[in-house]
Structure 1
Amino acid sequence: MVEDLICINIEGDNKLVRDRTKWQKPETGWWKVNTDAAFSAGSSIGAGGAIIRDAGGCLLAAAAKRYEHVHDTLTAEAMAARDGLQLAAENGYERVTLEIDCLPLFNLLQSDMGVRSSIAGLWHEIRELGKGFSFKLSFVYRDGNEAAHAYARLVSESSPVVSWLNSFSLCLLRVTEKDCNPGSYD
């Protein structure tokens, strides 16, 4: 809510408006890893989704994983970010931009305060994984990260881990394309 309040534009008729953000391609020679999480406080179950795209916007890899006994949304988001970086490392990408839509996680990863947070272990893992790449961290509003969120929702109790590499269903490709062109399928 806070990020929405920061980004609103109050027009004369008191309507709150924020332009939809679309996913931006990474620089040439870089790969973008978008991650997002879904979380249910009632069940303490979360899920993370990660997708990797190249400078042309081509979907290269995606994965989703179910998390049990998750404390809160921040923890689920950090687990998804860690898993996204692990996916990039496993596939040999060397120049990686990690793009997330969780502002508290983004701020923690940019500071040294993560060591004192509830996600200190995950904060440390993410920072250590980042040392294995030429690494950048980027924040995007949820509108530009819908594909990673959609992938996170594809896991279940019977399929707790799913991954795709170079072969994607039309449905998954459509969700990814929507990230680049929000509103095109509304």
Structure 2
Amino acid sequence: MGSSSSKYIYKINGDGETLENGKPFSVGVVIRDCRGCVVAARGKFLPATYSAEVTEAFAIKEGVVLACELKLSNVILESDSTVVVQALVSKLGFGDIGPIIQGSLATLDSFSSWNARHLKRDYNRVAHDLAKVTRSAETSQTWFGIDSPFLQQTLLLDRSKC
């Protein structure tokens, strides 16, 4: 990304998929720039089953990791999990999500600025759909600078809400 990325704020949406059939879970992460264009997306297949809160915490952690890989320094983390957002903002993670939240916070310490906010599930649809597709495919993938082929329709719908 280079040094010019430091002056922009990037939005990171993360979501987890935890439903049905006993299949291991997955997370979806989408990073967008200040114009709403996708900078990167990642669907990660998790090796086991976890609670919904743990899966949501993994989604945010994966978003933080991806932002770090891209050398982004100003980010807004968005999740539809109130528990995860509250843990990040308060910098206190308890129970099963504690170690995941603390790992995310340790990485976020190297960022110039960050914030976390809760949003309704309808506004986190792109990350949710990516997690769902990843779970069905049972494979992890990352896209840089392009929209995931799986998400093009969802992204179009999401952009039309603006």
TM-score, normalization: structure 1?
0.75
- Alpha carbons of structure 1 residues 69 and 171: separation in structure 2 relative to 1, 3 Å: closer
2:133 to 149, 154, 157: 154
Aligned to 2:95: 117
1:167 to 139, 142, 146: 146
What per-residue deviation string (whole Å, max 9, x for no partner) do you get for residues 60-81 of structure 1? 1100011132330001001111
What per-residue deviation string (whole Å, max 9, x for no partner) do you get for residues 115-161 of structure 1? x3221110101111211211111111011110000111122476421
Q: Give unmatched runs, 5+ long, in structure 2.
A: 1-6
Contact 1:97 1:137 in 2 (8 A): yes
TM-score, normalization: structure 2?
0.85
Larger Rg: 1
Count of matched residue pairs:
155
After TM superposition, the runs of 4+ consecutive aligned structure 1 residues lying more than 3 A away are 156-159
- Alpha carbons of structure 1 residues 41 and 157: separation in structure 2 relative to 1, 3 Å: closer
Aligned to 2:124: 145
> Higher helix proportion, which one?
2
Contact 2:76 2:117 in 1 (8 A): yes
- Alpha carbons of structure 1 residues 169 and 121: separation in structure 2 relative to 1, 3 Å: closer
Taking only aligned residues, the RMSD between alpha carbons, in angstroms, comes to 2.2
- Alpha carbons of structure 1 residues 158 and 51: separation in structure 2 relative to 1, 3 Å: closer
* Identity of matched residues, %: 25
